[in-house]
Amino acid sequence: MTKTIAFSLVLAASLGLAACSQQEANNAVNDTADVANDIANNADNAMTAASNALDNASNAVANASNAVENAN
């Protein structure tokens, strides 16, 4: 989905800057691609953080279960 959004942003930037100089258009397209990459990286980082949080919660439950077993 992020690639579709990125492609849409690049396309919009390219079409919107048709009247600009080629260098300005290239800069705008590159800037838009950079933003799209940043968004994709931030989404990946958020998913990794969520996955790590779930792993930590699972480990905490396992540790609590072990503590109860050891107490008996």
Q: Write down the pLDDT at residue 48.
A: 96
Q: Name the phi and psi angles at 47, rounded to 5.
A: -65, -40
| Cα gap 13→16, rounded to integer Å | 5
Please give the model's pTM, rounded to 2 decimal places. 0.58
Q: Is the dihedral of CA 43, 49, 53, 55 positive or negative?
A: positive
CB 13 within 8 A of CB 28: yes
Over the chain (72 residues), the average pLDDT of each successive run of 10 is: 71 65 82 90 95 97 94 82
pLDDT computed for residue 5 by the predictor: 75
pLDDT value at residue 41: 93
- Please tell me the predicted confidence (pLDDT) of residue 65: 94
Q: How confident is the model at residue 16, as a pLDDT?
A: 65
Cα separation, 5 vs 12, in Å, equals 10
